[in-house]
A and B are shown apart, each in its own frame.
Chain A
Amino acid sequence: MRFERFVAGRYLKSRRKQSFISIISLISVGGVSLGIATVILVVSVMNGFEQSLKDKLLANEAHVFVRSMGGFFKNYDQTVQQIKQVDDVVAASPVIYSQLALQPKGSKRIEGTIYVKGIDLKQEDSVTGFSEYVIGSVDFDDPELISAAQKKLSKRETLKGGIILGYNVASQKGLFTGDIIRLISKMEPNPANPSTFFADVSNYVVVGLYQSGLHTYDNAFGFVSLLAAQDLYNRSEQANLIQVKASTPEIAETVAKRIREQIKFPGGGLKGVPLTDTWMKQYAPLFEAMKLEKIVTLIIEALIILVAAFNIASTLIMMVMEKTRDIGVLRALGASKRQISKIFISQGILIGVLGAMIGTVLGIGLCFLLDLENDRPSYWLALTIILPVALQIWISITRSTKPVRSTAPINGQEDKAVFFKIGIPVLWILVVTFVLYCVVRPIQIDSRVYQLSQLAVEIDWVYVLFINFLSFFICLGATLYPAWQSSNLVPVEALRYE
């Protein structure tokens, strides 16, 4: 081991009673650790949130949306086939999108509106992961449910087909599979009695529930077959939207551009040019906000590490002051200015590296704990284990360490000292790990606000490496002034320092 590292390491773990430097060193290590752990945790949570939101969105959404200026496509099958020929297009499906008023059967009033998406199940599945999120039947014409529903209707009423309702829509309205709802597509004033309306009402039976975890879909959507939707609008063989899946979500803009360039609708002029939109544009405000939030968080996190670095600098400056006479002695023994400055640089690096290592382990550990889905032992169990263990450790420390240091090491005491030196930290680590395991649980969030119901965590290992390097260099920077200060002490004055 080199002289500088040897001295630096010894100063760092100094346990002299009169020296408070070791405690400050410990606080410095703690500062860096907490800084790093916080950075890793916050960034991982933000990454996880962004990624899982993206995953959920993309599982429910197409990558590119193609519309016609005229509203509905007449030969949508032909258009779908043409779009499928465009490079990097994996699948395309026709859809009818609309917003309709909802009236559960038996209710006398309209209970809000829902977005109804008319889909071709097979084609929809090729573009989004629709079927994966359906609880119950995905068959809009489920014979059992249809025939049961038809029996509930009067002779004047007809059933248009099945509907898969957003899970929360059904919960809020108290609807279950097999219940009948009415969708009102058009209301016109009654010319004979203007205070009343003629309503275009269609009956649907709930065949399944859609639970994606995305608030938008679960709370405001219903799905019917494309044919039923066409029938609802009297738009046979027509669709008002074509959803496209690209080979990767990131190239959605490129694919949209290709579609605009290569596809022409009948009619020519502006009507002939497809209108395209992408998932990125649709959710741009959300992702931009998240990006901004990430940048702000990174700045705050960098400041946290900077504060930790200031802590290191002040620790080292105090260390230089406390060790002034030692520096004089070392210079008298022949240590060069460079060697003296290296002692304090090594010490800063040791604090930084130790802090970064502990912080990384802590940060990654917390990330895993936040991401674990298992049930945890109760807080009370944690407390009943921690208290006696902590008490025992405390008693052991106070009883065992005093005689070991104050007298010559005797064989038995040496063994005891080694046991306590290794055993107690290990025991503490186990206790702290257990406490964290009990206390740190997945965080539930309000899906109405955040779309997701649980905070997801995704560790970006490159970023973990980057933040470790960053903290290393910040800590190194923090050592420069104390190192310069120590190397410029005049040996004779340092020896006389009181």
Chain B
Amino acid sequence: MIRIVDIHRTYTEAGNEIRVLQGINLEVNAGEILAIAGTSGAGKSTLLHLIGGLDRPTSGAVFFGNQDIFGFEDRELDHFRNQEIGFVFQFHHLLAEFSARENVALGAMISGTHSMDQSLQQADELLAYVGLEDRLDHYPTQLSGGERQRVAIARALINQPRVILADEPTGNLDRKTSGGVLDLLWDLNDRFSQSLVLITHDHTLAQRADRRVHLVDGKISEAKQIAE
């Protein structure tokens, strides 16, 4: 479903070129869980941002289906992110001024296809699904770390995207809470058959994925698909 072809990403900082990604080729199949593992600074998050169209590569292409997403107009790219991609960040990145249900509903409101009430109703259903039906009107500061990440997962699901991009979703949680969040992600993958691209530096977690990729200094060092 997603094909990454010879992606390079170079940043220039204080006159020095930093080559973060150096010719990445990768495919993400429909419904699979792909773990991208690697040490800090290996370029995992940059790769994730490129897949989600949040950043542009120095060279190379990311195909979603048959279309290169970087050939899209700005508006088309925004629509692509809104409809096809769901982001889950390490630090949940919930908006502090909005309640849990409002945070979840934002994605649907942005699309403009649903009324506010419909969006909120959809958000309530998703929050109930992630086990937060009694936390609908709570603000992020009133939620625990695990609850915030569940809200963030529900937010990623609001427009029923085909791909979930999770950037170390448990990186900020303790082991017990992490387990709950990961179980939820796997559960969702089972239920909705969305592709899940999971960034992690935890090799045990990577082992749980359908397929895992190791990123070292901006290059894929080993690709190993675990037999289903």
Contact = CB atoms under 8 A, between A and B. Distances in A.
B106 A330 contact: yes
Contacts of B111: 334
Interface in A328-353: 328-337, 339
B49 A492 contact: yes
Most chain B beta-carbon neighbours within 10 Å: one of A1, A332, A334: A334
B40 to A, nearest CB: 14
Interface string A1-33: 111001100110010100100000000000000
B79 interface: yes
Contacts of B134: 408
A332 B74 contact: no
A328 B54 CA distance: 9
Contact of B142 (A326, A408, A492): A408
A495 interface: yes
Interface residues of B, number: 36
Interface in B116-165: 116, 134-135, 137-138, 141-142, 155, 159
B66 to A, nearest CB: 21
A377 interface: no
Nearest to A492: B55
Contacts of A19: 96
Interface residues of A, number: 31
Interface string A455-498: 00000000000000000000000000000000000111001000
Interface in B81-134: 81-83, 85, 87, 89, 93, 95-98, 102, 106-107, 109-112, 116, 134
B75 A336 contact: yes
A103 B74 CA distance: 93
A409 interface: yes
Contact of A3 (B54, B106, B137): B106
Given A325-B93, A333-B87, A1 B116 contact: yes
B142 A406 contact: yes
Contacts of B75: 336
B217 interface: no
B107 A333 contact: yes
Contacts of A333: 81-82, 87, 106-107, 110, 155
Given A3-B109, A333-B155, A491 B54 contact: yes
B169 interface: no
B110 A332 contact: no
Given A6-B109, A6-B116, A336 B78 contact: yes
A495 B152 CA distance: 15
B83 A408 contact: no
B96 A16 contact: yes
Nearest to B75: A336
Given A408-B142, A491-B55, A335 B78 contact: yes
Interface of B: 49, 52, 54-55, 74-75, 78-83, 85, 87, 89, 93, 95-98, 102, 106-107, 109-112, 116, 134-135, 137-138, 141-142, 155, 159
15 contacts: A1-B116, A2-B112, A10-B97, A325-B93, A330-B95, A333-B106, A334-B83, A334-B111, A335-B82, A336-B74, A337-B74, A408-B135, A408-B137, A408-B142, A491-B54
